[in-house]
Amino acid sequence: MERIFNIFFFNKRNKYDCIVIGAGASGLLATLFLQKRNKKVLLLEKKKQAGMKLRLTGKGRCNLTNTLSLTEFLSHCSSLKSNKNFITTALKRFSNHDTIQLFQDLGVELIEERGRRIYPKSGKSLDIFLALIKQIENSTLTDIYFSQTVSSLIIKNNQIKGVKTLEGKEYYCDKVILAAGGKTYPQTGSEGDAYYLAKKCGHTITPLYPALVGLRTQRGHHENLQNYLIKNTNVKILHNNQVIAQENGDITLDEYGFSGPAILRLSRKIAHLLYKEQLYLQIDLKPKINEKALLEEITTTLKERQGMSVENIVRAWLPKEVCFDFKRWYKEEKQNNKTPLPQAILTYLKHYKEEIIGDMGWDEAIITQGGISLNEINPNTKKNKKIKGLYFIGEEIDIDADTGGFNLQIAFSTAVFASDNI
């Protein structure tokens, strides 16, 4: 599937038009579009193969993009006006509809699913990766070198001249696209190299946080409930008893806390507060019924089920798997607060509350929040304002968005936009 080129040392007479650092989603697409413009490109990848994170995207299904309008798209992105302006310029050059057309032209059948999300019809992210890598490999304009970790940029008089690798190689060019990714899924090669290289060039790195990630709570859940899905909930984040964020949607129970779509979206909103403030998660498992009506229903059911076990009583509202969790929770609640059963059931269903003690970490986070400051990147070119010939794209820059194909689309759009200016 992938060809590995023999590494050889070459001199300045063999220099490239552009070196792309990182063969992930943004690096691959930047390379493809540079090829389209007949540029001689060197693509450097630190791992033994390309596109490792791309193949994991969407749990291996690859939520490629979506079909939302520009306004709708931006509503799911970083809230800062400067960030949205930055994204807008890239999206206007290469939109979500352009992404769909590109992969269709490359022979990938696509399908639209719930939430207007676009996936390969096969359900395999590998198809997206293969469509890109085959085009790149078939071009005589591009060399791909694997197992090459860039340790520094060669800069003279604030102008890019090439790169050096840990393996002792030097490669020469006047333009470098840094596409080394963020810090998520470090096993795929995203270990923060982009931030290290940018910082060495004098760039500001805004604080980095795992985002779109599960949240750890004090209590956690029994092993029988690992990855158990609960649909149609309302989840709030509380700070000083005030609601600071909320989402509707599905959640999953985890040994250490909670995950699932609603939780992931919330994690993005509170990433910057998580380790600074005391935050609580409050879950309404029955958001479509008000408290008064539910309490009446509970009271009636308790009368009808007198003499039954607690598990059989709460089966009226909970799946049997979750009844065990309620019984465990109720035992603790009764010991601490001596809460009567009707009120306890109501509290569990409408106001389940847990202190958040952290997140699931970089290994499980989908995106990096924070990164290379946008103040130091030209929004009209994606070019570095400090070093001539240096461009930043993808997850490494200080832009983040919700799940639903937004982040991958941003990676694609910034990649194409940067390649246009080389």
Q: Nearest CA to 233 among 190, 284, 282, 278?
A: 284
Residue 337 has pLDDT above 90, yes or no: no
- pLDDT category of residue 209 using cuts at 50, 70 and 90: very high
Mean pLDDT, the chain, integer: 93
Structure confidence by residue, pLDDT tens digits, 385-403: 789 999 999 999 999 999 9
**Residue 197 to residue 392: CA distance in whole angstroms:** 11
197: which residues sit within 8 A by CB, 6+ positions away? 21, 150, 152, 153, 178, 180
Q: What percent of the chain has pLDDT over 90?
A: 84
Structure confidence by residue, pLDDT tens digits, 13-58: 468 999 999 999 999 999 999 999 999 999 999 999 999 999 999 8
Domains of the chain: 12-208+370-420 (3.50.50.60), 215-359 (no CATH)
Structure confidence by residue, pLDDT tens digits, 238-250: 999 999 999 999 9
- pLDDT category of residue 336 using cuts at 50, 70 and 90: confident
**Residue 324 to residue 127: CA distance in whole angstroms:** 42
pTM flag (> 0.95): no
Residue 10: per-residue pLDDT: 42
Residue 384: per-residue pLDDT: 72
Q: Inter-axis angle of helices 406-420 and 96-105, to 10 degrees?
A: 80
Structure confidence by residue, pLDDT tens digits, 132-180: 999 999 999 999 999 999 999 999 999 999 999 999 999 999 999 999 9
Residue 7: per-residue pLDDT: 38
Residue 383 has pLDDT above 70, yes or no: no
The tokens for 204 are 């500001």
The tokens for 379 are 């929004």
- pLDDT category of residue 2 using cuts at 50, 70 and 90: very low
Please report, for residues 14, 62, 104, the alpha-carbon distance to residue 309 in angstroms, rounded to integers and kept in the order given.
79, 45, 57
Of 121 and 226, the one with more pLDDT = 121
CA 40 to chain CA centroid, Å, is 31
Q: Inter-axis angle of helices 406-420 and 25-36, to 10 degrees?
A: 30
161: which residues sit within 8 A by CB, 6+ positions away? 154, 155, 172, 173, 174
